[in-house]
Structure 1
Amino acid sequence: MRSVADRIRHAVCFEFIGVIIVSPLAGWLFHAEMHKVGILAIAMSLVATAWNYVYNVWFDRTLLRLRGRVRKTLGERMIHALVFEFGMLLFTLPPVMWWMNYGFAQALTMDVSLMVFYLVYTYVYNLGYDALFPIPEPESSYSR
């Protein structure tokens, strides 16, 4: 399992890099004022950071309990990313509607577009992060 410090580094780096990439991209794609998109991206980043931490602890504990390991297979990585992004969609749709003054359809389009971006980004980021900072395997309590 990852340490608390490692999980914090993971979440903070993920959100920082994501905001740097997505703010200008979303402003351009949605013809939105850059300061509004930037503020929205930072607010969503704070929500995502908290969700990222809670979700990853839960996912790793569940994987360890069900599979006896925390290292994810390709399929588990896909499920991990999809469930994370759908959770984010539930948390972020109302604030996008309010802050951007969008109707449901326009906010959903923006949110789903961000979800698709972050779905790919989540997979690539976690793959790279795990390569740079491998997950230590839990020590077995069984004697050999």
Structure 2
Amino acid sequence: MTPKKRRILQAVLYELFAIAFVGPIISFMFDKSATSAIGLAFVLSSVALSWNYVFNALFERWESQQTIKGRSFNRRLLHGIGFEGGLVLILVPVMALWLKISVLSAFIANLGFFIFFFVYAIVFTWAFDRVFGLPASAQQQSEA
């Protein structure tokens, strides 16, 4: 699978689950209609999908320049922190505007999602790598 196809497949599968999880939670937590909550989940997921593609391209570029190859727990932890941390910075203002709540309230709500998605990002990426193999950037170089 080409790196571009791999990143697209990974991002789409990741976000399908995100919409299914986040929509009902938002509806319940903020007493919003299912339509509004699913709409927000779709917007959040679309932003996350774009960020996923960009972040993974940047991460794989960085990863390909590292002397130690493979994806250790620490590298997966770094990946999860970078992805989710960047996403929080992007999504908090979107949530605050959509839900008509303060940035602080949106940030606090986002912390709950962060905890779930931080673990989910690490587990999902591990499972995705097990099913589809490591990307070229993480594979050992064979000597000719």
Q: TM-score, normalised by structure 1?
A: 0.88
Contact preservation (8 Å) 1:78, 1:123: yes
The residue aligned with 2:128 is 129
Q: Secondary structure at the match of 2:65?
A: helix
The residue aligned with 2:21 is 21
The residue aligned with 2:118 is 119
Aligned length: 141
Contact preservation (8 Å) 1:30, 1:110: no
Equivalents in 1 of 2:123, 2:132: separation in Å?
A: 14
Verify: 1:65 aligned to 2:65, yes or no.
Answer: yes
Change (3 A) 1:2 1:121: farther
Q: Kindly state the Cα deviation for residue 111 of structure 1 after the two structures are TM-superposed.
A: 1.3
5+ unaligned residues in a row in structure 1: which ranges? none
Equivalents in 2 of 1:87, 1:27: separation in Å?
A: 24
Q: Kindly state the Cα deviation for residue 30 of structure 1 after the two structures are TM-superposed.
A: 3.9
Equivalents in 2 of 1:116, 1:33: separation in Å?
A: 24
Verify: 1:90 aligned to 2:95, yes or no.
Answer: no
The structure showing larger relative contact order (alpha-carbon pairs under 8 Å, at least 6 residues apart) is 1
Deviation above 4 Å: which 4+ runs of structure 1? none
The residue aligned with 2:108 is 109
Q: Secondary structure at the match of 1:67?
A: coil
5+ unaligned residues in a row in structure 2: which ranges? none
Contact preservation (8 Å) 1:36, 1:100: no
| Per-residue Cα deviation, 1:49-82 (whole angstroms, up to 9, x for no partner) | 111111111111211202353x310011111101
Change (3 A) 1:55 1:118: same
Q: Secondary structure at the match of 1:66?
A: coil
Equivalents in 2 of 1:134, 1:15: separation in Å?
A: 20
Paired residues for 1:25-36 under 5 Å = 25-36=25-36
Aligned residue type for 2:88: L
